[in-house]
Amino acid sequence: MDVMTAVLTRRSEHTLRAPAPDDEEFAYLLRGASLAPDHGRLRPWRWILLRSGERAQLGLRIAEESGADAAATEALRDKYQRAPLSAALVFAPRGQRIPEWEQLAAASCVAHALMLLLHAREYGSIWRTGQLATSPGVGRFLGLRGSERLLGVLDIGTPEAGTAQRRRVPDDVSATITRFDDLARHRPDTAPQAEDG
C-alpha cells in the first residue's frame, strides 16, 4: 500500500478483533514509526503494551476514582477490553535542550506514523484519550515517573471482515495556505524598499 492510499483509507476502527501484532511485530513497526520528525532524536516517549486482563485494569482504576457503582464499574471494565492490544503512549520529556512542545510534537508524530504502518499491514486502530489520559489512578497503574504523562491509548486489532477501506475525499484546505509574497505585499514592514541610486 502506498503512503497516500494509507492516508486516504485509514479510519478509526471501533470494533477490533484478534489478531493484533505480537510484541515482536509491534517493535518492528515502532522502529519504522520512530523515524518520524524528532528534533534531537530524543525519542521522548515510551509505550506500554497491555493485553488480556491487564486492559480491564484501566477501566477499574477510573471506576475507583469516580466512585462508580457496580454496574458502572462493570461497564468501565468492559469498555477498556474492546481490542486485543492496548498500547499506552507515555510522553517522557528528555531534559531542557529541546523545548517540551517540540518533544510533545515528536511523540504525536510517532503515534500517527504507527497508525499508518498498522493500517498498511491490515490492522485497525483507534486513539483513546479523555478520562483515561488524565486519570491519576491509571498513571499509577502504568508506573508513570516524574514529568511523564499519558497521552492516550492506541487500541489495536483486526477490523471486522468486510470493513470497506473506502478512499476518503480530502477537504479543500487551500484557504489555509498563504504565499508569503502575497502576505508581504500587504504588510508595510515587509514591502520591498526602493534602492538609493
Please state, in angstroms and rounded to a whole number, the distance separating the CA atoms of residues 95 and 93.
6
Q: Position 137: which residue type?
A: G
Query: Maximum CA pair distance of the chain?
Result: 85
Structural domains of the chain, with CATH: 3-163 (3.40.109.10)
> Are residues 152 and 127 in contact, defined by beta-carbon separation less than 8 angstroms?
yes
Q: What's the pLDDT band for 177 if we cut at 50, 70, 90?
A: confident
Whether the per-residue pLDDT at 172 is higher than 60: the answer is: yes
Q: What pLDDT, on a 0 to 100 scale, did the predictor assign at position 169? A: 82
If you average pLDDT over residues 167-176, what whole number do you get? Answer: 84
116 three-class SS: helix
Q: What's the pLDDT band for 83 if we cut at 50, 70, 90?
A: very high
Please state, in angstroms and rounded to a whole number, the distance separating the CA atoms of residues 168 and 171.
9
If you average pLDDT over residues 158-182, what whole number do you get? Answer: 82
Please state, in angstroms and rounded to a whole number, the distance separating the CA atoms of residues 151 and 130.
9
Q: Position 25: which residue type?
A: E
- Average pLDDT over all residues of the chain: 90
Q: What pLDDT, on a 0 to 100 scale, did the predictor assign at position 44? A: 97
Whether the per-residue pLDDT at 23 is higher than 60: the answer is: yes
- In terms of pLDDT, which residue wins out, 188 or 146? 146
Q: CA dihedral in degrees (136, 138, 142, 145; nearest 10)?
A: -10
Please state, in angstroms and rounded to a whole number, the distance separating the CA atoms of residues 44 and 147.
11
Whether the per-residue pLDDT at 164 is higher than 70: the answer is: no
Please state, in angstroms and rounded to a whole number, the distance separating the CA atoms of residues 107 and 91.
7
157 forms beta bridges with 124
Percentage of the chain with pLDDT > 70?
Answer: 93
Q: What's the pLDDT band for 19 if we cut at 50, 70, 90?
A: very high
Alpha helices in 45-149 (DSSP H): 54-66, 70-79, 100-120, 131-134, 136-142
Q: pLDDT for 96-122, tens place per residue?
A: 899 999 999 999 999 999 999 999 999
Whether the per-residue pLDDT at 147 is higher than 90: the answer is: yes
Please state, in angstroms and rounded to a whole number, the distance separating the CA atoms of residues 29 and 121.
10
